[in-house]
Amino acid sequence: MAKVTRKPKPGLLFEQVDWDFDRLRRTYDAIEEVARKDLEIDVYPNQIEIISSEQMLDAYSSIGMPLMYRHWSFGKHFLSHERLYRKGARGLAYEIVINSDPCISYCLEENTMPLQALVMAHAAFGHNHFFKSNHLFQQWTDAEGILDYLEYARRYIAGCEELHGPGRVEAVLDAAHALMPYGVFRHRRPRRLSLQEAEEQRRERIAAAEQNVYYLWNTIPDIPGSKEEIDAALQERKREMQLPEENLLYFLEHYSPILESWQREILRIVRNVSQYFYPQKQTKVMNEGCACFVHYYILNKLYAEGRVSDGAMLEILHNHTNVLTQPDFDDPRFSGINPYALGFAMMQDIRRICEEPSEEDREWFPDIAGKGDWRSVLKYAWANYRDESFLQQFLSPAVMRRFRMFALTDETGDSHLTVTGIHDTSGYRHLRDVLARNHDISNTDPDIQIVDADLLGDRCLHMRVIKRDRVPLDAASRDATLKYVERLWGYKVKLEEVEATL
């Protein structure tokens, strides 16, 4: 082979596979140019951090956060990730991105230059834009406050360990973690607070929390007042508790008769972290789809402009395709619908519908078919939907056909599964409904509420699970989790499972 002189061609952002900060900066600027001027996307300022593989392991064993309080479960996840990684069973993520202002993206030092370009376009613009513009994130998370808050949480919990011993803190954290998915407000969002306000309120809360458990002393017999009065007070108390309550951690934090104030604060911290991740759980398809769409668009654009070489583009496409593989249901690698693949396919499809719609599209999407301006359609979708509603609104027959989707029902007692719909004219709407429901976490997570607290009797806490489609809770984990609830409530806890009444 003739030796080719390695002189960077004019316009090429990078030639070699090795990266350095100079090339990163140059490439970032080019990506930003396309992102802002062409796609017109709006992002938080970016902070891109290069980290080693060990640091990457650290980062994603603490649920991807740069700072976290200490707990053994993070150590467990570190070890299990590390084991898989060392065995080669699982690669490391190329990037982790944090919904914060500035938006922090972690890039692995082992990435090649083309991969770094991909990662920057994906994380620093795709995810970043989604975090900034999607209404769920806007409404439910505080990008500018989260790092401060975590720093506060870490210090607070470390302080508790010093004061009360690691064992007691661990006991509270274990229990709180078990209830973490049930520590979110699904329908209302408390007013945002600055850190100082939060600190002031914390003090008030401590006082209030102590008043809340005051009723325990009220049961001392020499209290004046008739039985009716006590009953009335009790009813009042229950009304104040606003039962039923679905935010279990919130309820326990406020009304548990046995917790000390520092324990309540720990519950609050865990609850806040959980709440912070709630929008991410609801937007996996959209978030990854947005990031993939953005990186794909930007890098193709740069390639078309001659700023990315053929070789680099091949490597980028190779990685792009890897991420977007959707194994069939009968493939051993199959583990559900790949949110990257689905999100990306739908967003590409939206663009197609806007630009060159078919008859079918005109019928299904009269608002956007042939509209041409796909940028604003996508931006509107990114901003205003979550997975469930996005699928319901935008999943097209074309995508269903491409994935060759079909729906199955599984009924206990029936020895067979039934195909309830496939990708044909009669099945599209059904498939879309089912897939949307599969992506609605308020539908896939068990529906659990606290319905009553028997304050003057045995102080038993009554919880209720409303079973959907008669699907019960997993018995072993239910019992183990109930023990944790009992630990936090201090008295007996009863959980009844009832059928949904529809």
Partner 1 sequence: MAHFVDRRLNPKDKSLSNRRRFLKRVRAQIREAVDEAVRERGIADVGRGKSVSVPTGGVAEPTFRQAQEGGRRERVFPGNKTFQTGDRIAKPRGGAGGGGRQGAQSGEGEDDFLFALSREEFLDFFFEDLELPDLVKQSLKEITRTHPRRSGYSITGSPANINVARTMRNAFGRRIGLRRPKDKEAQELVNRIVQLERVSSPTEEQKKELAALRVKCDEVTRRRKVIAYIDPLDVRYNYFQQQPEPNANAVMFCLMDVSASMGEREKDLAKRFFMLLHLFLERRYEKTDIVFIRHTHDADEVDEETFFYSPQTGGTVVSTALVKMKEIISERYSPSEWNIYAAQASDGENFSGDSAKCAGLLSQELMRICQYFAYVEIVDEDEAQLINSEASGMELWESYRQVVDIWPNFARKRVARVSDIYPVFRELFSRSRAGEPHG
CB 169 within 8 A of CB 266: yes
Binding segment for partner 1 (CB under 8 A), chosen from 7-15, 19-27, 347-355, 359-367, is 19-27
Report phi then psi at 460, rounded to 5: -70, 140
Using the CB atoms, write b or e for 232-259: b if 16+ within 10 Å.
eebeebeeebeeebbbbbbbbbbbbbeb
List 39, 160, 179, 308, residue binding partner 1 (CB under 8 A): 179
Task: Note whether 500 binds partner 1 by CB under 8 A.
Answer: no
Q: Taking the complex as a whole, how short is the minimal distance between the CB of residue 396 and partner 1, in angstroms?
A: 15
Task: Note whether 154 binds partner 1 by CB under 8 A.
Answer: no
Task: Note whether 151 binds partner 1 by CB under 8 A.
Answer: no
C-alpha to C-alpha distance for 76 and 82, rounded to whole angstroms: 10
Binding segment for partner 1 (CB under 8 A), chosen from 138-146, 256-264, 301-309, 400-408, is 400-408
Site for partner 1, residues 116 to 135, rule: CB under 8 A: 124
Using a 10 angstrom Cβ sphere, with 0-12 exposed, 13-18 middle and 19 or more buried, the burial of residue 222 is exposed
Q: Taking the complex as a whole, how short is the minimal distance between the CB of residue 331 and partner 1, in angstroms?
A: 7
Task: Note whether 377 binds partner 1 by CB under 8 A.
Answer: no
Q: Taking the complex as a whole, how short is the minimal distance between the CB of residue 466 and partner 1, in angstroms?
A: 12
Of 354 and 431, the one with the shorter C-beta distance to partner 1 is 431
Task: Note whether 501 binds partner 1 by CB under 8 A.
Answer: no
Site for partner 1, residues 182 to 211, rule: CB under 8 A: 182
Task: Note whether 162 binds partner 1 by CB under 8 A.
Answer: no
Q: Taking the complex as a whole, how short is the minimal distance between the CB of residue 363 and partner 1, in angstroms?
A: 21
Of 405 and 453, the one with the shorter C-beta distance to partner 1 is 405
Q: Taking the complex as a whole, how short is the minimal distance between the CB of residue 192 and partner 1, in angstroms?
A: 26
Of 12 and 51, the one with the shorter C-beta distance to partner 1 is 51
Of 378 and 399, the one with the shorter C-beta distance to partner 1 is 399
CB 434 within 8 A of CB 421: yes
Task: Note whether 424 binds partner 1 by CB under 8 A.
Answer: yes
Task: Note whether 407 binds partner 1 by CB under 8 A.
Answer: yes
List 5, 10, 21, 220, residue binding partner 1 (CB under 8 A): 21
Q: Taking the complex as a whole, how short is the minimal distance between the CB of residue 359 and partner 1, in angstroms?
A: 23
End-to-end, the C-alpha distance of the chain in Å comes to 74
Site for partner 1, residues 30 to 49, rule: CB under 8 A: 32, 45-49
Quick one: which H or E segment has residue 497?
A: strand 493-499
Provide the 3-class DSSP secondary structure of residue 106: strand
Site for partner 1, residues 444 to 473, rule: CB under 8 A: 444-446, 448, 465, 467-473
Site for partner 1, residues 206 to 235, rule: CB under 8 A: none
Site for partner 1, residues 286 to 325, rule: CB under 8 A: none
Provide the 3-class DSSP secondary structure of residue 104: strand
Task: Note whether 427 binds partner 1 by CB under 8 A.
Answer: yes
Binding segment for partner 1 (CB under 8 A), chosen from 24-32, 203-211, 267-275, 371-379, is 24-32
Distance set, CA 298 to CA 34, 129, 134, 386 (Å)? 6, 14, 20, 24
Neighbours of 158 (CB within 10 A): 14
C-alpha to C-alpha distance for 234 and 227, rounded to whole angstroms: 10
CB 136 within 8 A of CB 281: no
| Partners of 498 in beta bridges | 466
Of 293 and 428, the one with the shorter C-beta distance to partner 1 is 428
Task: Note whether 13 binds partner 1 by CB under 8 A.
Answer: no
Task: Note whether 327 binds partner 1 by CB under 8 A.
Answer: yes
Of 266 and 368, the one with the shorter C-beta distance to partner 1 is 266
CB 76 within 8 A of CB 70: no
Site for partner 1, residues 59 to 118, rule: CB under 8 A: 61-62, 70-76, 78-80, 82-83, 86, 102, 106, 109
Could you tell me which of 363, 361, 330, 389 has the C-alpha nearest to residue 135? 389
Q: Taking the complex as a whole, how short is the minimal distance between the CB of residue 434 and partner 1, in angstroms?
A: 5
Neighbours of 441 (CB within 10 A): 17
Task: Note whether 244 binds partner 1 by CB under 8 A.
Answer: no
List 139, 242, 322, 409, residue binding partner 1 (CB under 8 A): 409
C-alpha to C-alpha distance for 122 and 320, rounded to whole angstroms: 10
What are the residue ranges of helices labelled H in 112-260?
113-119, 128-133, 135-140, 146-164, 166-178, 195-212, 215-218, 227-240, 248-255
Q: Taking the complex as a whole, how short is the minimal distance between the CB of residue 439 and partner 1, in angstroms?
A: 9
Site size with partner 1, rule: CB under 8 A: 102
Q: What one-character-per-residue DSSP string does 190-209 give?
A: PPP--HHHHHHHHHHHHHHH
C-alpha to C-alpha distance for 447 and 466, rounded to whole angstroms: 6
Q: Taking the complex as a whole, how short is the minimal distance between the CB of residue 191 and partner 1, in angstroms?
A: 28
Could you tell me which of 186, 433, 390 has the C-alpha nearest to residue 283? 390
Which tokens hold the place of 382? Answer: 């990114």
